[in-house]
Structure 1
């Protein structure tokens, strides 16, 4: 199943350097990168998870989370294994930290994934559960197959990708939710084994140089990245560098993986963070992983009317026009919208891959 990888070059000392992410792993023969799924084979790097998935599900688009990208629609979701970050708080650690390729039981070609999404009426396909950057070649091919069927594509990613690779990768994506894990380099180094600046570089580039619809998510961890000072600094940066209309989601941490000794995030922490971000000038700030009706509402930035009313992942009311405008004052809402055909709802459906006869 090994597939020829891109984004690498040979070094003078005989090693091969992977140029996909800012780790720049330098590999000897048969050595794997930190992501575990990119490996040196002979004198090249291969992707060991091409065409293999940890499973396929249909989700509401709000679960990615994306609140301004065709709200209420269904998204066909899948991932592979491995990750290029080492987050001690990973909520999908059984997939992203897997070193067992046998858990990738579902084989699927790009065309089969697109066909399955179409057969189930999904309007988009999401690369999620683990970071799609590490299976970029597979994600790019799947995205091309989806676009041939007028199916949109979504990357759920930490944004840890090099300048060399990001153009190819994001040119195939219609939307992205980027996990801005914190706003200090110490947090990234100590809890993620990475650095903050490459993520910020990716975000600025996405906003200013592409047509990708971008929303941000920050998982607030008690005592680690939830101080007023850090939330204010991050919110100001988002406002100044990406603009006030970029949606920001604050979500609640629950004890898991290597941070199972910490308490869950109190709901009041999310409420406080949301207010700090609003005070910094951001227009669309949401809360997640807690029951918070106000934290799920989308309001008109001009007249403050509630345009979308949510309860968890369920849409209770939808008042936008097909052009994404407020029906009262006709102000445009930032995002991607169309005819609202009703909400998919909060359910998740596991589906088998669609195989063509013969």
Structure 2
């Protein structure tokens, strides 16, 4: 292992790990109460070049005037239209010289060797470890985000907070940790797929080294993205935030897009699903029955992790999910699925 990679190991050993499908009970910040699921937490913002024109009723002329300079990011359903130098909704992908790409690829927010069950992946090489890597940014706006410190970052502080590592060094590090039970690389903590190109290239190198490749993702990405990364991914944990279109829109996501991602991932890889049970968003028994039945239609053996909500980020005044509700939802889900696990109880 070279000196630079060793420094990554040392830094990882001393770093505080982000949360991963496990939420804090601390409530150290003032925040607004999580509203019922009919409330829109996230309102899509027009790009600045559009916003001013929309105010004047001149949106189409303004778009036509600037069309030659604008580039559309087609990675996720936001389909951000970016002028030169502008960063998209995810706070990571930018129009640079007429091409959309992630800024600061390789700047990690965390590197840690975790039990595979922490992803959570309970039925993929149980009892092993996996090198877990986080970046910055996210293409959703969940008010209960567990890792908002890294997912909702400002682009300007990336270089100050991130530790840089190349794809080759990361694969070398993963291989060197095999003696400690490591089976591969998992991209997790923030939303990894906003760094799609970097991760795709890293996964190709990892597969050449016979490493497992894991994505812990919200799945809110367009079909071409999922189709391209799926053959290089050996396991997924996909967040299914809720099972209503209104609920997903309130978080800045799209339910049908996520459902399509789950279907595509399950065609070629091991898939487990996590639903954080949030009051008034994902705790409705009928919605849970529909969610579980839909998953069973893909494969009744898909594991479903129901995780208890605790106040976090902009939902600090909301009460934790009642354990009685958790068990009731698990019972409903088990009518359709073979494996339903409860977390954070």
**Structure 1 residue 74: Cα displacement:** 0.2
1:58 counterpart = 2:58: no
The residue that corresponds to 2:327 in the other structure is: 271
**Structure 1 residue 114: Cα displacement:** 1.1
The residue that corresponds to 1:74 in the other structure is: 129
The two structures, once aligned, show a CA RMSD in angstroms of 1.4
**Structure 1 residue 103: Cα displacement:** 4.6
Between 69-78 and 157-166, the greater mean CA deviation after superposition: 157-166
Q: How far apart, CA to CA, are the structure 2 residues paired with 1:46 and 1:246?
A: 33
**Structure having the larger proportion of residues in helix:** 2
Contact 1:80/1:104 (8 A) holds in 2 = no
The residue that corresponds to 2:257 in the other structure is: 198
Contact 2:104/2:159 (8 A) holds in 1 = no
**Structure 1 residue 49: Cα displacement:** 2.5
**Structure 1 residue 265: Cα displacement:** 1.5
**Structure 1 residue 82: Cα displacement:** 0.6
**Structure 1 residue 106: Cα displacement:** 1.2
1:256 counterpart = 2:256: no
**Structure having the larger proportion of residues in strand:** 1
Structure with more relative contact order (C-alpha pairs < 8 Å, separation 6 or more): 2
**Structure 1 residue 248: Cα displacement:** 0.4
Contact 1:49/1:80 (8 A) holds in 2 = no
Any unmatched runs of 5+ in structure 2? 1-62
Q: How far apart, CA to CA, are the structure 1 residues paired with 2:258 and 2:142?
A: 15
Secondary structure (helix, strand or coil) at the match of 2:257 reads helix
Any unmatched runs of 5+ in structure 1? 1-10, 291-358
Contact 1:53/1:106 (8 A) holds in 2 = yes
**Structure 1 residue 109: Cα displacement:** 0.7
When normalised by structure 2's length, the TM-score is 0.77
When normalised by structure 1's length, the TM-score is 0.74
Contact 1:89/1:255 (8 A) holds in 2 = yes
Contact 2:114/2:132 (8 A) holds in 1 = yes
The number of equivalent residue pairs is: 275
The residue that corresponds to 1:125 in the other structure is: 185
